[in-house]
């Protein structure tokens, strides 16, 4: 896949991120569903998701069945909610999206004629095709990733905290050396890809092909854990904006027990709560149980801040949550009535 050459200044700019947001996980989940390399870590999720997918998902499959991955991650950037990410995708410059689609054109040529026509419309800047892309991503996310996002977010936060402790105790050298089997740190070279640990030449699995070397040239390197990126790490970089950081997405989910916990179905009480107040508000009530601001709630359940504010208002009117203002910050918390619903 490639290698980074990191000098002392580059190492000082290495930083950790909890996640790149629900949109990135949504993209990766599509690729996971299409991948022939199945994993027991995703069995529970895939079984619950596949049955509810409509034929319209085929449009998204057409964009996410190729290798390399369609890099909408850097087109959108880090976004705390799916709403924020999709707004950025809809407003992204035509040239930027066209550049990413052009990279995948050889792979897309094997797709069905209707899929190729749709991709051509996207590349040409057709507004209707772009809005259709956004709508289908939103529908897919709400079905496949949204119901699990709160548990995934907590898992990724724990992973980032674990890596931060490693860096605090052993520095960035130990952090890079222990990040993932698909990453090999041999100062000043950071090899990234399936053959990084074996020392085989070429990060793309082809014997005798030398990996592509990247020199950061002032860009920082952000390490981002991902739940659905199971098979190998991916190095992402923006070709449109050279000030944006290199992003190293690495697989964080490696334990079968952790996977079962992430994909476990909600208990009977939770299902009853969803029937009463709806799935999104049930997740919002659970999130508010830890006390949070409107912005934090939006991040936790993967919606826009205005949508989160609306859910808070409805639940406040119902007596399930209350709010407390501390200076310019408004904290929401669950009332006794709301807590009783969560415990049932």
pLDDT > 80? residue 270: no
Q: pTM of the predicted model, to two decimals? A: 0.72
Of residues 211 and 94, more confidence is placed in 94
Helix axes of 294-301 and 305-317: crossing angle, nearest 10 degrees: 110
Q: Which residues pair with 248 in a beta bridge?
A: 223, 235
For residues 124 and 262, what is the distance between their CA atoms, to the nearest angstrom? 40
What DSSP element (H or E) covers 2?
A: strand 2-5
Confidence of residue 271 (pLDDT cuts 50, 70, 90): low
Among the residue ranges 159-168, 187-196, 266-275, the one predicted with the least confidence is: 266-275
Q: Is the pLDDT of residue 37 over 70?
A: no
Helix or strand or coil: residue 108? helix
Q: How confident is the model at residue 234 (pLDDT cuts 50, 70, 90)?
A: confident
Check residue 334 and report its DSSP letter. E
In this prediction, residue 232 has a pLDDT band, given cuts at 50, 70 and 90, of confident
The pLDDT tens digits of the residues spanning 302-326 come to 888 899 999 999 988 888 888 877 6
pLDDT digits over 287-303, tens only? 888 788 898 898 888 88
Ranges of each domain in the chain: 2-17+148-259, 22-147, 266-343
Mean pLDDT of 44-68: 77
- Contact in structure between 67 and 104 (CB atoms under 8 Å): no
Instruction: State the pLDDT confidence band at 170, using cuts at 50, 70 and 90.
Output: very high
The confidence score (pLDDT) of residue 340 equals 76
Q: Would you place residue 65 in the very low, low, confident or very high pLDDT band (cuts 50, 70, 90)? A: low
Task: Taking residues 108-131, report their average pLDDT.
Answer: 83
CATH code given to domain 266-343: 1.10.10.10
pLDDT of residue 272: 62
Give residue 201's pLDDT: 33
pLDDT, tens digit, 9 for 90 and up, residues 245-259: 899 999 998 888 888
- pLDDT confidence of residue 54: 77
End-to-end CA distance of the chain: 50
Burial pattern 283-310, b for ≥16 Cβ within 10 A else e, equals bbbbbbeeebbbebbbbbbbbbbebbbe
pLDDT interval class at 77 (50, 70, 90): confident
User: Tell me, what's the pLDDT at 74?
Assistant: 79
CB crowding 31-45: b at 16 or more within 10 Å, else e: bbbebeeebebbebb
User: DSSP states of 260-319 as a string?
Assistant: HHHHPPPPHHHHHHHHHH-HHHHHHHHHHTT-B-HHHHHHHHT--HHHHHHHHHHHHHTT
In this model, does residue 187 exceed pLDDT 80?
yes
**What does the pLDDT read at residue 16?**
94
């Amino acid at each position: 896949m490639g290698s980074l050459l990191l000098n002392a200044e580059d190492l000082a700019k290495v930083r950790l991120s909890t996640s790149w947001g629900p949109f990135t996980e949504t993209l990766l989940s599509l690729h996971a569903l299409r991948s022939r390399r199945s994993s027991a870590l995703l069995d529970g999720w895939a079984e619950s998701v596949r049955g509810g997918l409509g034929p319209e998902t085929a449009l998204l499959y057409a964009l996410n069945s190729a290798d390399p991955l369609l890099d909408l991650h850097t087109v959108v950037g880090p976004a705390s909610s799916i709403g924020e990410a999709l707004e950025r995708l809809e407003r992204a410059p035509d040239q930027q999206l066209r550049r990413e689609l052009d990279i995948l054109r050889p792979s897309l040529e094997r797709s069905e004629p209707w899929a190729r026509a749709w991709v051509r419309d996207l590349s040409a800047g057709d507004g209707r095709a772009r809005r259709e892309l956004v709508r289908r991503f939103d529908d897919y996310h709400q079905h496949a990733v949204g119901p699990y996002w709160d548990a995934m977010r907590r898992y990724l936060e724990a992973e980032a905290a674990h890596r931060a402790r490693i860096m605090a105790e052993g520095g960035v050298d130990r952090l890079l050396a222990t990040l993932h089997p698909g990453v090999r740190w041999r100062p000043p070279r950071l090899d990234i890809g399936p053959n990084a640990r074996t020392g085989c030449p070429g990060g793309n699995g082809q014997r005798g092909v030398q990996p592509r070397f990247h020199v950061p040239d002032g860009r920082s390197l952000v390490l981002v854990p991902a739940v659905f990126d199971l098979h190998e790490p991916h190095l992402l970089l923006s070709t449109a904006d050279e000030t944006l950081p290199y992003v190293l997405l690495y697989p964080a989910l490696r334990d079968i027990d952790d996977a079962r916990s992430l994909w476990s179905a909600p208990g009977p009480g939770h299902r009853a709560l969803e029937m009463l107040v709806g799935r999104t508000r049930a997740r919002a009530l659970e999130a508010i149980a830890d006390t949070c601001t409107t912005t934090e709630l939006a991040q936790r359940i993967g919606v826009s801040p205005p949508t989160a504010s609306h859910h808070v208002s409805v639940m406040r009117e119902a007596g399930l949550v209350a709010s407390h203002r501390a200076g310019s910050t408004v904290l929401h918390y669950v009332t006794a009535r709301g807590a009783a619903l969560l415990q049932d």
